[in-house]
Amino acid sequence: MTQTNGRILTISRMACANIPTAYGDFQLCLYHNNHDRKEHLAFVFGNINQKSNVLTRMHSECFTGDVLGSQRCDCGQQLDTSMRMIANEGAGIIIYLRQEGRGIGLLEKLRAYNLQDQGYDTVEANLMLGHQADEREYSIAPLILQDWGVQSIRLLTNNPLKLDSLRQLGVIVSERVSIETPIHPDSANYMRTKAQRMNHLLTLPFVAPAASLISNGHHHD
């Protein structure tokens, strides 16, 4: 059972459909819940019902990266890599949580991008807009795992905070699986900030930042 603000959370699986992809056939399932008005999703490959150590990605929505292929972040690459790794595994699940921009929404993320173009890093930009560095929360995720009978997971993440958050919600995480993707000049500052200021477990070779993102004195590398 998951609670938030003293309220018991519930979800309802509304529909599932087969989605052929470059990596094979996934099932896409849409959930309603009594916590927010967002339609959270599960993208499932193979048989995960009542299984343990299921390869799992908790992926927060990123329109710019997931849909447009933006190279300002690694989100789209992480989603694609997760699909490939899960397909190669033969079974797994991507829980797609609708919390754009680390929970601040697309409008505020675009405003944060404009601040980043002035030289502020992603943490500074969020704080300047009155937000926390990361406002995501994962209370819906355990319920989706329970809906599939998943006993424990191997979590595809570089983010220790995500790992800790899920364990605090009662998810049994048997292993953290690294998910590193190539770093582009346009994402170099962003990736460096994730590693240095948000403690993401990343290997960071030197990559010269794009000219438009070069610090003007506000960046705290």
Q: pLDDT digits over 18-45, tens only?
A: 999 999 999 999 999 998 889 999 999 9
Q: Decide if 134 is catalytic.
A: yes
93-146, pLDDT tens digit by residue? Answer: 999 999 998 889 999 999 999 998 998 888 889 899 999 888 888 999 999 999
pTM of the model: 0.80
Mean pLDDT across the chain, nearest whole number? 84
Higher pLDDT, 8 or 92: 92
The confidence score (pLDDT) of residue 7 equals 77
Query: Which alpha helices (DSSP H) does the chain contain, by range?
Result: 75-89, 106-117, 122-128, 140-147, 160-168, 188-197
Tell me: pLDDT of 215 over 50: no
The confidence score (pLDDT) of residue 159 equals 86
Tell me: pLDDT of 167 over 50: yes
What burial class does residue 154 get, using C-beta atoms within 10 Å of its C-beta: 0-12 exposed, 13-18 middle, 19+ buried?
middle
Domains and CATH numbers, the chain: 3-99+136-181 (3.40.50.10990)
Task: Choose, from 57, 72, 102, 136, the residue flagged as catalytic.
Answer: 136
Tell me: pLDDT of 213 over 50: no
The confidence score (pLDDT) of residue 197 equals 52
- Please list, in sequence order, all residues whose beta carbon lies within 8 angstroms of the beta carbon of residue 50, skipping any fewer than 6 positions away: 149, 150, 151
Proportion of the chain in helix, strand, coil states, percent, rounded to 5 = 35, 25, 40
Tell me: pLDDT of 150 over 80: yes
Tokens 């959370």 -> residue: 9
Average pLDDT over residues 173-178: 92
Confidence at 10, pLDDT banded by 50, 70, 90:
very high
Average pLDDT over residues 156-184: 87
Q: Decide if 36 is catalytic.
A: no
Average pLDDT over residues 204-216: 40
The confidence score (pLDDT) of residue 217 equals 33
Task: Choose, from 66, 74, 134, 192, the residue flagged as catalytic.
Answer: 134
Q: Residue 209 — φ and ψ, nearest 5°?
A: -70, 155
